[in-house]
Amino acid sequence: MSTPTGPRRRADAVRNRQLALEAATALLSEPGASLTVEAIAKRVGLGAATVVRAFGGKDALLDAAVSGLLEPLVRRARDLLAETTPTRALHVFLRELLAFQTAHHGVNDQLGGLDLPATTALRADLVRAVEEMIDGARREGTVRTDLDPGVTTTLIGQTALAVARAQPPSQELADAYLTVLLDGLRPPSAP
Amino acid sequence: MSTPTGPRRRADAVRNRQLALEAATALLSEPGASLTVEAIAKRVGLGAATVVRAFGGKDALLDAAVSGLLEPLVRRARDLLAETTPTRALHVFLRELLAFQTAHHGVNDQLGGLDLPATTALRADLVRAVEEMIDGARREGTVRTDLDPGVTTTLIGQTALAVARAQPPSQELADAYLTVLLDGLRPPSAP
DNA sequence: CGATAAGTGAAATGTGCGTTCCAGTTGATT
DNA sequence: AATCAACTGGAACGCACATTTCACTTATCG
């Protein structure tokens, strides 16, 4: 496929687009951030119009920002699945997922009414990867099989969201979640 | 204390106030409900102004509605503490708490930026009751003691919230949560 | 350079929502 | 029935945001 030659893009516009993306990404990790276009613009000394235009709308900007955060996480999940046993992948990944949610508190908070296609797709990838881990772990006998696999996945996802919503989010709380979740997911009579 | 004699209150105003409260309460249990003053008003055929005036503001209306839902739950928690052992109270109450969240999906969803004093107070009561259950259950040896009690309470509360946010909320999911949570909360080497 | 299209941001516009106004209506009291 | 304060709801207002406009600026290229 050939890169379609659109109208010329000026270097400063490209740089401003990058600045806006970084500002949005930074705000996503701050608990009380307002996440308005003006707030994002002010953070890098741009006008609101410039920020919006660079992405064609606020939704697209946030979609890009969230996707940028999610992408490495999805890659990590896939890598773990390839490198190690499902059980170990599940344990390691859950720890990292909860740490991610603790660090990027705002990622799932104010995003309710927005249309974020790339983010939605990445989330689906994440769910698929976790399902694979659970499926494998069940086969290995380290995860209980008396629950529906899909329900188990949802449970894990919602648990991750819950960590992000705690006030304040703390690593201690995330650790407690992980401990309880993993113990609760074990087969009722396993070591 | 004597009831302060304010201006006369007409019967239809009292009735409309009640209608508005019921409409708000009903909307709180509907997943996709918009929860705007207009939506509440339209539901009972009143004007938006009337609905707002009856409570002195949207926040006060929702505070009353949510409190009305929460009150029986708090009473139930206290009753269980008085009637039975902490362990049994914890198990029974958790099941009912999750059922409540499943039924009243919207209660915690769109309420972020609002000021709800009565609701906040009731929530604190609820937290206190659950803390008491956990404390007692720990003493009875049915809940693990390697986690901070406060963290354990937060964990339970966030789990309840997570149930409400699932799409769609189902009793099956709530049951799965309960199973995993209770198994995970047991001391690592208990039956 | 000089020409010109791309880019910029302050201000204008549009939208959704809670709240307030006010002219008209209605329940209560005598 | 007559009076009057309480009540009502459509319209106006205020506010917070996202988005668009447009006169001005600036990077880019011959």
pLDDT band (50, 70, 90) for residue A165: confident
For residue B64, what are the domain limits?
58-185
The yes-or-no verdict on residue A86 having pLDDT over 70 is yes
What's the one-letter identity of residue B21?
A: L
d(CA A120, CA B61): 35
pLDDT greater than 70 at residue B1:
no
Euclidean distance between CA atoms B4 and B147, whole angstroms: 49
- B contacts of A164 (beta carbons < 8 Å): none
Q: How many Cβ atoms are within 10 Å of B83's Cβ, its own excluded? A: 10
CA A31 to chain CA centroid, nearest Å: 15
Angle in degrees, CA A78, A82, A87, rounded to 5: 90
Q: Does a structural domain hold residue A190?
A: no
- The answer to whether B46 CB is within 7 Å of strand C is no
User: Are the beta carbons of A110 and A24 closer than 8 angstroms?
Assistant: no
CATH number at residue B101: 1.10.357.10
Please state, in angstroms and rounded to a whole number, the distance separating the CA atoms of residues B122 and B120.
5
**Nucleic strand C within 7 A of Cβ A45:** yes
- Asked whether residue A37 is assigned to any structural domain, the reply reads no
- Average pLDDT, integer, range A86-101: 96
A104 pLDDT exceeds 80?
yes
Instruction: Find the range with the poorest average confidence among A74-88, A146-160, B43-57, B121-135.
Output: A146-160
Token pair of B67, please? Answer: 């409190």
Q: Which residue of B has its CA nearest to A180?
A: B184
Distance of CA B126 to the CA centre of its chain: 9
Interatomic CA distance for residues A122 and B172, integer angstroms:
26
Whole-model pTM?
0.91
Q: How many domains does chain A have?
A: 1
DSSP structure string for A151-182: HHHHHHHHHHHHHHHSSS--HHHHHHHHHHHH
Q: Is there a domain that residue B91 lies in? A: yes
Mean pLDDT of chain A: 92
* B3 within domain boundaries: no
A44 domain residue, yes or no:
no
Q: Is there a domain that residue A21 lies in?
A: no
> Taking a contact as any Cβ pair under 8 Å apart, which residues of chain B between 96 and 155 contact chain A?
146-148, 151-152, 154-155
pLDDT at B191 over 60: no
C-beta separation of B158 from A162 below 8 A: yes
Nearest to A180 among B163, B176, B181 (CB): B181
Q: What is the pLDDT of residue A3?
A: 59
Q: Confirm whether A36 is domain-assigned.
A: no
Q: Is A56 left (phi over 0), alpha (psi -120 to 50) or beta?
A: left
Measure CB to CB from residue A151 to each of B162, B173, B186 and give the nearest one.
B173
Does residue A118 lie within any of the structural domains?
Answer: yes
With 0-12 CB in 10 A as exposed, 13-18 as middle and 19+ as buried, what is A92?
A: middle
CA distance B58 to B113: 12
